[in-house]
Structure 1
Amino acid sequence: MTARQRLVFADPGEAAGLDAFLRRLLRWEKAAAVRIQAGAGTGAVGVFAKPARFDVLAVRTARLLEPAEVDVTVSAGELLEGIDESAEAFTVPGAVTGPPWAGMLPPRGGWEAFGEVPADAVRTVAAAAIGEFRQRAEQLGRQERSREKLDALAEEIWSRPLGRTQLPLRAAHAAHALGFLVGEAPLKLLRSGSWLRLRTQAGSVVVRSGSEKGPGLSVTPV
């Protein structure tokens, strides 16, 4: 991969979507890193991130005008600076030392669809869960409102399943916060091994199921 490589999207609006995605990431973590992957055999690019305060991975994928070979972890801020919306393109910044999550990405293939959920229902559930967290946190006395108790409350709420699916509510929460819950098309539920994925029109949120999941979500609702 050549530093400062320029990639051009095949579809209009993708550069603006990537811009919005990165701005949300940087809102929570100014030093956020992302991993960019593109394969010549796929003609697509994926930008992976682990948003601060969320125990999930998020990814935006898009078609490229011309296939490219890229696999690098970069600064989200530098990537944002390299977006050219008028040309539907972005410049790949130089590599940075990646965080541990960047070496454990979900599989590229082998995803099996196992259901759909209405976008409006997911928005409603996410908003209700955020409201419940805030209400219950406010009901705690000042001396009771410790980080430990707030973390426990967050884990209780965000570990619940999304309806009858196996997907934890933390995935819906993250999709809401990242601006992925747009449009009215049903959201796809997919699985691959221990990974579960909520795929929307704007991007995907991926979590690991069972004992392989990481620590609980931070207490800050969005």
Structure 2
Amino acid sequence: MASDSLVFEDSNSVSDLANFLSRAKAIEDDGALLTVRGTALAVYVPVLVPAQLGQGDYTILGMRVHRLAKEAQSNACYSIAAIQDRLARMGQTNTEFIFPPVEENPVWAGITVPMSGWVEAGSVADTELAAAAQSGIDAVAKALPENPGKPVVAQIRQRIWSAEMENTKVSLPLGAAFAMHALGFLSSDGQSRILLQGNWIRVSNGLGHVLLRRSASLL
């Protein structure tokens, strides 16, 4: 049975979730999936999602794990605004999060992310990812026309973030670097692992994870 609430380890864990969601909302305001197994809360957010699944080269999700003080069960998606409202009501010391009353059902939340079978494929310096992210941000800004509509923005973002990073041992799209940068997963002296599983790529470090699903045409 799904739980009615979550109890975080401490107020710092609550603040971490609030900061993560604030960053995610600035990228793509299309909900957050809360998946709980035992005392581990995995929060998934969209970074780059085609208008229809199966279109575009990549679907990119961000994920961060938060620790709970009590075991719970959940696999539900809510609007980021609704989660933020609940977090704000908790105040400075309360660690119990009550789920919002209304669930969301964005298409990306139905994607099944592999939980096992990942194979190590190398690593990349966080400084390289940061530089690649900035080059992509500059390219997107330069390519956007004045007053673009949402379909034009989506097309440009998909094209630029699907382009491969240069000088990396493992093929990695710029979107992976952008997601790691925008979600706050990079550090000045860190390294991020690259893992593969079927048509999935995962970029991971101690701060968070970025998951990329390649379209069938890229395989």
Displacement of 1:165 after TM fit?
Answer: 1.7
- Give RMSD over aligned pairs: 3.1
Residue 46 to residue 189, structure 1, CA distance change in 2 (3 Å):
same
| 1:194 alignment counterpart | 199
Q: How many residues align structurally?
A: 204
1:66 matched to 2:73: no
Displacement of 1:182 after TM fit?
Answer: 3.4
1:129 matched to 2:128: no
Amino acid at match of 1:112: V
TM-score with structure 2 setting the length: 0.76
What secondary structure sits across from 1:64 in the alignment?
A: strand
Give, in whole Å, the separation in 2 of the partners of 1:88 and 1:203: 22
Superposed, 1:102-121 pairs within 5 Å as 102-121=109-128
Displacement of 1:164 after TM fit?
Answer: 2.9
CA deviation string 1:4-46 (max 9, x = no partner): 4132136x7332221012122333555x322111123xx3110
Amino acid at match of 1:39: R
CA deviation string 1:172-194 (max 9, x = no partner): 11222222223532111112221
Q: Is the 8 Å Cα contact of residues 73 and 98 (structure 1) preserved in structure 2?
A: yes
Higher strand proportion (structure 1 or 2): 2
TM-score with structure 1 setting the length: 0.76
Alignment partner for residue 33 of structure 2, among 17, 35, 39? 35
Residue 101 to residue 154, structure 1, CA distance change in 2 (3 Å):
closer
What secondary structure sits across from 2:76 in the alignment?
A: strand
Amino acid at match of 1:100: V
Give, in whole Å, the separation in 2 of the partners of 1:149 and 1:5: 40
What secondary structure sits across from 1:56 in the alignment?
A: strand
Residue 50 to residue 67, structure 1, CA distance change in 2 (3 Å):
same
Q: Is the 8 Å Cα contact of residues 182 and 201 (structure 1) preserved in structure 2?
A: no
